[in-house]
Amino acid sequence: MKRLLLIVSLLICCVGLSSAQDDHFKFKGIPISGSIEEFGRKLVADGFCKVAVNTYKGKFLRGDCIVMPVGSDDGMIWRVAAVFGAVEAWSTLSASFDGYVDLYTEKYGRPTKIVRAFTGMYDNTAVRFGHQMSAVYHDACNYIASWELPHGSIVVKIIKGDKFDSGCIMIVYTDNANKTVVRKADLDEI
């Protein structure tokens, strides 16, 4: 009888541990939990290489990208950003954005929010005069899709590249549990 109780207790503990890990959002199957260093080691084990502090280069969604884990002051990870290489053609950049939105929509359903617009002096002229890449470079391109999910959120957006008239796709995963901890610490500080 004691042996049976011990086995049942062990099973309950195992289930509890596995469900505790399921409370965190995942990037490439890696839970966004623990320290930035732990997460980085898991990225390296998955084929990424470390190129700078908290910066890793590798493959995600069949494309080369830079992955940057973001953490709190004490090193607890709560967000991961993946940035794909810069492109200089609007047709390629917008097609990539639409492709990622379609992929995430297939897995997670319709985005909570989706915007495809240009702002400022580009709001009426970017498309009409073919100035989309200039709008991207001047932070006047507001192409963003987001999904709010039970354990976190995903944002797909177009950002400016490192050269004039270039742009990139950035995908950001945020873990709700760790974001709440970081937010509470920020609120306690003010």
User: Residue 14 falls within a domain, yes or no?
Assistant: no
pLDDT of residue 17: 38
Whether residue 162 lies inside any domain: the answer is yes
pLDDT at position 28: 96
56: DSSP letter: E
Give dist(CA 160, CA 163) in Å, integer.
8
What is the pLDDT, as a whole number, of residue 187?
Answer: 84
Determine the distance from the C-alpha atom of residue 54 to the mean position of all C-alpha atoms in its chain, rounded to a whole number: 14
Q: Is residue 72 part of a domain?
A: yes
**6 in any annotated domain:** no
CA dist., res. 174 & res. 152, Å (int): 5
Residue in 142, 146, 147 with CA at minimum distance from that of residue 127: 142
Range of the domain at 128: 25-189
Would 19 be classed as within a structural domain?
no
Domains: count for the chain: 1
Q: Does residue 100 lie in a domain region?
A: yes
Is residue 178, in this structure, part of any structural domain at all? yes
Q: What is the pLDDT of residue 5?
A: 33
> For position 22, what pLDDT does the model report?
63
Distance CA 9, CA 155 (A): 40
Return per-residue pLDDT of the chain as tens, 190 residues.
Answer: 444 333 333 333 333 433 444 689 999 999 999 999 999 999 999 999 999 999 999 999 999 999 999 998 889 999 999 999 999 999 999 999 999 999 999 999 999 999 999 998 888 777 788 899 999 999 999 999 999 999 999 999 999 998 888 999 999 999 999 998 888 888 888 8
| Beta carbons of 52 and 66 less than 8 angstroms apart | no
- pLDDT for 81 equals 98
pLDDT of residue 181: 87
Structure tokens at 180: 């709440």
CA atoms within 13 A on the CB side of 97: 28
CA angle 36, 52, 162 (to 5 degrees): 115
Q: Confirm whether 70 is domain-assigned.
A: yes
